[in-house]
Structure formats: C-alpha cells, structure tokens
C-alpha cells in the first residue's frame, strides 16, 4: 500500500464508518506534516461554516418534490400548486422554503408524515425543516407553514 498513489486506492463507497481514517496534510502552507483524522472526529468538530453546495430544486408547478435534493425552493404563480414528497432515508434532512409568492398556495403532502397530512405554504419566508425517521417525515422547525 505504501507504493500506491491515493488515486489508485480502492474506493470505500458508502460503507463509511466513524472510525475510518482520512489522510490529512497539516499546515500545507508552512511546515507540512502527514497526519490522520477519523471520520467521526471530522463530523463532530467541523471548524467552520457548513455549506450545502448542492443546487436546490425550485418547485414551480404541481408534481413530485425530489428527495435527492436537500433544499427545495417554492416559487408559486397565481394558481395553487400541489406536490408530493416521497419517503426518504432515516436521518435525511429536507429544507423547504417559499421564496416567491405569486398568489397561489402550495400544498405538499408527504407519503409518510408524522405531524399530520400536509403542509401549506402561502407567503414568502414560509419554511419547514424536516427529518426523516423510521416512522416518516417529522417537522424539526416550522416558520409560517400551515400543517393539516
């Protein structure tokens, strides 16, 4: 293994464990030193702002809301929009925010929803943070959305 480039190593895929190690070069602009860092320590001690670099989806018409996007932005027109949200994976987060209110309400109905049946967004700034559990989507935070 010592004679392999990092690009030649086997990809671990999705079987990452908190005890798995990463190769770190500490102080690359000064006196670089090779060190190790466990995945657990990385995610328990993030030293700065955490950004979601993924491009959000924008909901502008009725249909299915993606579960492959962490952030969904709602842009309504004059007509009402209805959308469904499929079940996610345990521990998955979903941020939903209305950014444009064209006059129509937006109703989102998750397949499995712990807090009710649906969420209605009718004003700019209405937002919900959801967490998917073994029992379905659970609201962690709600700012202005009506839950039915």
Q: What is the pLDDT along the chain (148 residues), one digit of tens a residue?
A: 567 888 888 888 888 888 988 888 899 899 999 999 888 888 777 777 677 778 999 999 999 999 999 999 999 999 999 999 999 999 999 999 999 999 999 999 999 999 999 999 999 999 999 999 999 999 999 999 999 9
| Region at 48 (left for phi over 0; alpha for psi -120 to 50; beta for the rest) | beta
For residue 64, give every residue at least 6 positions away whose Cβ sits within 8 Å of its Cβ, in sequence order, or none. 83, 84, 85, 86
pTM: 0.74
The residue to which tokens 């998917």 are assigned: 132
Contact 79, 101 (CB under 8 A): no
Say what the alpha-carbon torsion angle 18, 21, 25, 27 is, to the nearest 10 degrees.
40
The predicted pLDDT at position 2 comes to 67
User: CA-to-CA distance for 74 and 108, rounded, in angstroms?
Assistant: 10
Contact 144, 134 (CB under 8 A): no
User: CA-to-CA distance for 47 and 91, rounded, in angstroms?
Assistant: 22
6: DSSP letter? G
């Amino acid at each position: 293994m010592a004679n392999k480039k990092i690009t030649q190593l086997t990809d671990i895929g999705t079987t990452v464990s908190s005890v798995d190690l990463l190769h770190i070069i500490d102080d690359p602009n000064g006196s670089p030193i090779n060190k190790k860092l466990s995945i657990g320590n990385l995610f328990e001690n993030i030293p700065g702002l955490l950004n979601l670099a993924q491009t959000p989806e924008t909901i502008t018409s009725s249909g299915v809301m993606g579960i492959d996007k962490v952030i969904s932005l709602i842009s309504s027109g004059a007509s009402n929009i209805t959308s469904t949200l499929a079940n996610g994976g345990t521990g998955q987060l979903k941020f939903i925010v209305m950014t444009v209110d064209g006059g129509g309400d937006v109703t989102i109905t998750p397949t499995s929803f712990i807090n009710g049946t649906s969420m209605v967004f009718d004003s700019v700034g209405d937002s919900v943070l959801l967490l998917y559990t073994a029992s379905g989507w659970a609201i962690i935070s709600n700012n202005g959305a009506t839950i039915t």
